[in-house]
A and B are shown apart, each in its own frame.
Chain A
Amino acid sequence: MNAAGYVSRSLLCFLPLLLSSLGGAASFRAGKTAAALPGVMIAGALAGLAAERMLTLGDWITLTAALLIAGCAGALVGMLAGAAMIRRKARPLIAGLALDALAAAALLALPEKGTSGRFGAAVQSSVTVWMGQWFFTPLWLPAAALLLIFWLILYRTPAGFRLRACGENPRAAESAGAKENALGRFGALLAGFLMGAGGYAAFFCLGSWQAEGWFCLSALALTAAWMGRKKMRHAAAASLLLSFIRTAAEKGGGIVWPGAAPQELIAMLPYFAALILLAACRRGAGPLEEA
């Protein structure tokens, strides 16, 4: 694979990472932990796949509808996690772990033949547009619209402002008249929608149901989301960087590694890079932070 192919492949990986990490970052901005991210992504992918198979409309409409339905499924699962955290004061990581297990069970319960979508292998499909040596997935267009709406809600509406204020300091926001619980639910809904859409994008762009691929993607998305806790653009930048590294580490990713380098060492590369990134940026609040 040449340089253009490598960049194109990385950008394909970037889209799901971007959507999921921004969803996760929104969750962090709202003062909640995006622990259910893998589960929400799987739920979104399953719902998107079901929509893709059931709808008999044109390619573009089907694609957009599948993305929206995936987002709705993600929002539903996000609300489940949010409800546990807000109503029952559950630890976010435990509720998230439970939802991850349930999503993994749903994925396993699906028959093998039921895991192929209408569009087949996305990269080679008829809806993938080639421009010379470059190719991009048309999923970028509805996804960009989705991201624009997300940005407008979070940064240009009173609800978004209150949500961010609540994430910064819940007590202060509550004193100023914001309803913490309602805003928490709204945050879970918004974040779940994006993460679910990211899950469908992962299935569409990467076309993989392998557990290893999902694990890697969700771990990297969580890392990028953590990086974007203060500023969302940091999440986007981290997603871009990690998607390039992930593509370099995957088999046939376009980078020719020296023959002696074992595949296991190359497979470690994205995780190692993510750890270095986290350690270098020191975005946490130190050892006193409680999950």
Chain B
Amino acid sequence: MNRTGRWAALLSFLSWLLLGCGIGAALLFLFARGQAADALHGAKNSLRAVLDAPAAFLNGASPLILGALAAALAYRGGLWNAGAVGQFILGAAIAAAGGQRGSLHWSVCLLLGLLGGALCGGLIGLLKTRFRVHEALSGLLLLGLCQPLAGLLSASPFQGRSAALPALRFLRFVSLQEMTVGVPLAALCAAAVWVFLKYTTLGYELRLCGRSLRAGQAAGVDIKRHCLLLMLFSGALAGLGGACFALTPALGGAQAALSWGVLTVPAAFLAACHPLAALGSGLLIRFLMLLAGQDRIGLAAALSLIGGMLYAASLSGALRSSGGKAVRREKREEEGAP
């Protein structure tokens, strides 16, 4: 695709997202007529909160970006990591338990969270390759396993943290002295994933398998190894996101790990699974979370907007399926068949 085509595709995708936003808002008005207007008026207050404390906003966005990267990487490789939520929760619980009980250094806690996520992701990969269990289904069931496991790891995992990500004090000249290490880490990971996908042989193989696993196999890619490694890497990213969440002060309690983790997968698809666009979608979801606040109707508002945008994104064609009648017809035409 040439440069003009790319811009046209981007504009088309964004206009679909805008349409989805409208659908979400319309549905919200349909279900909660009285309160919906208040919820959407809260957007003004959220914008003010972002401008007043940009560092806190960015700190909140970094776990979402890392989680979105995990789901996006798996999708680009042809797998659906629905278990990214479970990996996020497990990473958060392990990192928090390490910091709280073991009084470990924050970097060790991050590493532990990453390993926890990778383990969970690897298990999904193993179930797929060895036992033919679909990764979306095993991910969903592992989420059900991870949630009580996180509660079991530490009785109150997210309270009284002893380890926390350090703030970048030297950024006080741009009023970002409260920004933690998590933000540059998320940006670095996004850039690394982008470079990996675009400029490395393994990344090329991964994208090829993402188009069609059969094509990858025909090109000589070991599909079992591919699935296992991809889920390991994806799980590690999600676990890292969870660890960042647990080690960032003022990001909610035990219940929050689940509600934050759940939003990582939509964040990936709102970015059309592009690693750099995941930065933007992470910020967007964080903004919607600020809009949601603590009350029920706020959360409903955020979910309806996200759901509407996601539905529109699925319609946009940017995340099209490789099967279907029309696609087959296109393939036949390309092959020159009548």
Contacts and interface: CB of A to CB of B under 8 A. Distances in A.
A219 B144 contact: yes
Interface stretch (B103-111, B164-172, B293-301): B293-301
A109 B25 CA distance: 12
Nearest to A275: B141
- Which of A86, A97, A286 is the most central at the interface, judged by chain B CB atoms within 10 Å of its CB? A97
B141 A91 contact: no
A138 interface: no
A177 interface: no
Contact of B327 (A89, A97, A215): A89
A226 B141 CA distance: 13
A264 B148 contact: yes
Given A99-B311, A109-B31, A287-B128, A89 B320 contact: yes
B257 to A, nearest CB: 14
Interface string B298-311: 01110110111011
Q: Which of A90, A99, A171, A286 has the most CB of B within 10 A?
A: A90
B300 A268 contact: no
B182 interface: no
B31 A110 contact: yes
Nearest to A264: B148
A245 interface: no
B114 interface: no
Contact of B313 (A94, A174, A268): A94
Given A110-B31, A278-B138, A284-B132, A98 B314 contact: yes
Interface residues of chain B: helix, strand, loop or mixed (majority): helix
A181 B325 CA distance: 8
A283 B137 contact: no
Given A278-B131, A288-B213, A290-B213, A171 B328 contact: yes
A219 B303 contact: no
A223 interface: yes
Contact of A105 (B31, B213, B315): B31
A92 B297 contact: no
Contacts, number: 183
Residue from B296, B322, B327 whose CB has the most chain A CB atoms within 10 Å = B296
Interface string B274-306: 000000000000000000000011011101101
A140 to B, nearest CB: 27
Contact of A271 (B132, B144, B266): B144
A98 B213 contact: no
Contact of B307 (A105, A110, A262, A264): A105
Contacts of A99: 307, 311
Contact of B321 (A91, A170, A223, A283): A91
A271 B82 contact: no
Contacts of B138: 275, 278
A284 B308 contact: no
A260 interface: no
Contacts of A265: 148, 152
A101 B143 CA distance: 17
B314 A95 contact: yes
Contact of B217 (A92, A104, A215, A288): A288
B260 interface: no
Interface string B196-232: 0000000000000000111001000001100100000
Contact of B310 (A94, A109, A262): A94
Interface string A226-260: 10000000000000000000000000000000000
Interface of B: 24, 27-28, 31-32, 35-36, 78, 80, 82, 127-129, 131-138, 140-145, 148-149, 151-152, 212-214, 217, 223-224, 227, 265-266, 269, 296-297, 299-301, 303-304, 306-308, 310-311, 313-317, 319-328
16 contacts: A84-B314, A98-B308, A98-B310, A100-B307, A102-B311, A105-B307, A108-B297, A109-B28, A109-B31, A170-B325, A215-B144, A219-B143, A264-B152, A271-B145, A285-B132, A290-B213
- Report, nearest first, the 8 A-B pairs whose CB atoms are least far apart: A101-B307, A271-B144, A98-B310, A102-B307, A284-B132, A98-B311, A264-B148, A108-B300
Interface of A: 35, 80, 84-86, 88-95, 97-102, 104-106, 108-110, 170-171, 174, 180-181, 215-216, 219, 222-223, 226, 262-265, 267-268, 270-272, 274-275, 278-279, 282-291
